[in-house]
């Protein structure tokens, strides 16, 4: 508090940003010079970060877009402009729409389960019990683990010959012991989604936990005094309070899952028979297996367009529902 009162006694021409209210202002000339110096400092400080992002994100992004209109490949040093040919090829390719819709299923299901289970875990950790801090750490483990180890663990546990889970399942029903989770064409996608959810849950959990702890205790207590049961308190007090956080998590995790490359690539490479092939893996394969930079660029740009559409839909929805609730 001393700090503030000291400040008040200082002459008004001391450096200050955003003076609000009817305070004595310094001379215009002096102020603008001051402000300009402040601005310059601000920009200089931001320079290293901007350099990293422009050089390593901006430049590559622009060159992907340019490449997508050429026949550039790793096989030849020259590239010609070929207009929309790459796009026509990709969009008329049989695998495009199946890959596209599979990516949407993968994304939607992953996000939904990560949110539901993450919220359940957060509610659990929001209860009072001994050892809660340790448990919070344990619940977070899947998220700090390298994805390669996540894939390794689950491929080991779900191995159709000697996986521990298959062994346990076989005791319930012998046929279940032989389930080839990662290589059965009708199972693989659901298995990888399951692993993806396992890995993502800790992150959603911790964000929801932060949200739950910001729910004012008076609100839930008041609801309890009014005779509302726990479920009603949750539905009518807690959940509405979490609405903003829920929407943010939905957006961020839609992007995370839509962009996911490593888990799928490490556990199935998109197989068997492309049953787990999603857009990021496909783009990688076209570039580094097919060596077609131009065509990979078209896949990449189509991904970016999809992301842009999803983000626009999201923001339109958020804005409209905000208007309605007002």
Partner 1 sequence: MKILESKTNRRVLLLLAILAATVYSAFPFYWLFISSITAPSQLFSGALFPSAFSAESYVQLFSATPIFTWLGNSILVAVIVTALTVVVAVLGAYSLAFFPTRIGQAAGQLILFTYMFPGVVVVVPAYTLLSRLGLVDNLVGLVLVELVLTVPFCIWMLRSFFLQVPKELLEAGRIDGASRMRVLWAILLPVARPGVIAIAVFSFIFSWNEYLFPLVLINADEGKTLPLGVAGFMGNLTVQWGPLLASGVVAVIPVLVLFLFLQRHLVEGLMAGAVKG
Pick from 19, 25, 33, 41: which binds partner 1 (CB under 8 A)? Answer: 41
Nearest 5°: CA angle at 308, between 63 and 286? 45
# chain residues binding partner 1, by CB under 8 A: 98
Is the peptide bond prior to 35 cis by the omega test (within 30 degrees of 0)?
no
CB of 108 to partner 1, least distance (A): 17
Is residue 31 involved in binding partner 1 (CB under 8 A)? Answer: no
Cβ 197 vs Cβ 117: under 8 Å: yes
Q: Which of residues 104-133 bind partner 1 (CB under 8 A)?
A: 121, 124, 127, 129
Pick from 76, 98, 167, 236: which binds partner 1 (CB under 8 A)? Answer: 167
Is residue 42 involved in binding partner 1 (CB under 8 A)? Answer: yes
Cβ 292 vs Cβ 68: under 8 Å: no
Task: Please identify, using beta-carbon distances, which residue of 30 and 230 lies nearer to partner 1.
Answer: 230
Please tell me the distance from the alpha carbon of residue 161 to that of residue 181, in angstroms, as a whole number. 11
Which runs of consecutive H residues, i.e. helices, occur in 217-292? 217-225, 230-233, 239-241, 243-258, 262-267, 279-288
- What secondary structure does DSSP assign to 115-149, as a single string? HHHHHHHHHHHTS--TTHHHHHHHHHHHHHS-HHH
CB of 183 to partner 1, least distance (A): 13
Is residue 75 involved in binding partner 1 (CB under 8 A)? Answer: no
Question: Contacts by 231-240 with C-beta closer than 8 Å and gap 24+?
Answer: 234/123, 238/212
Q: Compose the 227-266 pattern: x for residues touching partner 1 by CB under 8 A, - for all others.
A: --xxx-------------x--x------x--xx-xx--xx
Cβ 219 vs Cβ 237: under 8 Å: yes
Segment contacting partner 1 (CB under 8 A): 21-29, 52-60, 82-90, 184-192? 52-60
Segment contacting partner 1 (CB under 8 A): 23-31, 55-63, 83-91, 315-323? 55-63
Please tell me the distance from the alpha carbon of residue 18 to that of residue 228, in angstroms, as a whole number. 46
Task: Please identify, using beta-carbon distances, which residue of 115 and 300 lies nearer to partner 1.
Answer: 300
Pick from 27, 75, 78, 141: which binds partner 1 (CB under 8 A)? Answer: 141
Q: Which of residues 186-215 bind partner 1 (CB under 8 A)?
A: 198, 202-203, 206-207, 209-211, 213-214
3-class secondary-structure state, position 22: coil
Buried b (16+ CB within 10 A) or exposed e, 187-210: bbbebbbbbbbbbbbbbbbbbbbe
Is residue 26 involved in binding partner 1 (CB under 8 A)? Answer: no
CB of 133 to partner 1, least distance (A): 8
Pick from 32, 63, 95, 101: which binds partner 1 (CB under 8 A)? Answer: 63
Task: Please identify, using beta-carbon distances, which residue of 109 and 145 lies nearer to partner 1.
Answer: 145
Please tell me the distance from the alpha carbon of residue 233 to that of residue 227, in angstroms, as a whole number. 9
Is residue 20 involved in binding partner 1 (CB under 8 A)? Answer: no
């Amino acid at each position: 508090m001393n700090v503030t009162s000291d400040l008040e006694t200082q002459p008004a021409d001391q450096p200050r940003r955003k003076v609000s209210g009817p305070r004595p202002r310094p001379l215009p000339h002096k102020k603008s010079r001051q402000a300009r110096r402040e601005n310059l400092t601000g920009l200089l400080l931001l320079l290293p970060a901007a350099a990293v992002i422009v050089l390593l994100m901006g430049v590559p992004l622009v060159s992907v877009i340019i490449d997508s209109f050429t026949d550039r490949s790793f096989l030849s040093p020259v590239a010609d402009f070929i207009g929309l040919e790459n796009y026509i090829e990709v969009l008329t390719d049989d695998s495009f729409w199946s890959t596209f819709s599979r990516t949407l299923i993968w994304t939607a299901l992953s996000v939904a389960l990560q949110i539901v289970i993450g919220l359940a875990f957060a509610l659990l950790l929001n209860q009072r019990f001994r050892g809660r801090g340790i448990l919070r750490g344990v619940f977070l483990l899947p998220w700090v683990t390298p994805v390669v180890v996540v894939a390794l663990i689950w491929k080991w546990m779900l191995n159709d010959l000697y996986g521990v889970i298959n062994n346990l399942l076989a005791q319930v029903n012998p046929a279940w012991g032989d389930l080839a989770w990662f290589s059965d064409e009708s199972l693989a996608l659901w298995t990888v989604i399951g692993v993806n959810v396992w890995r993502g849950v800790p992150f959603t959990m911790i964000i929801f936990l932060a949200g739950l702890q910001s729910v004012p205790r008076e609100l839930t207590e008041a609801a309890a005094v009014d005779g509302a049961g726990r479920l009603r308190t949750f539905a009518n007090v807690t959940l509405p309070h979490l609405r903003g956080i829920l929407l943010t998590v939905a957006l961020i995790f839609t992007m995370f899952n839509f962009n996911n490359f490593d888990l799928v690539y490490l556990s199935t490479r998109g197989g068997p028979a492309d049953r787990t092939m999603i857009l990021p893996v496909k783009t990688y394969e076209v570039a580094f297996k097919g060596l077609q930079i131009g065509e990979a660029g078209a896949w990449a740009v189509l991904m970016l367009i999809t992301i842009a559409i999803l983000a626009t839909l999201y923001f339109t929805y958020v804005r409209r529902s905000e208007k309605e609730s007002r």
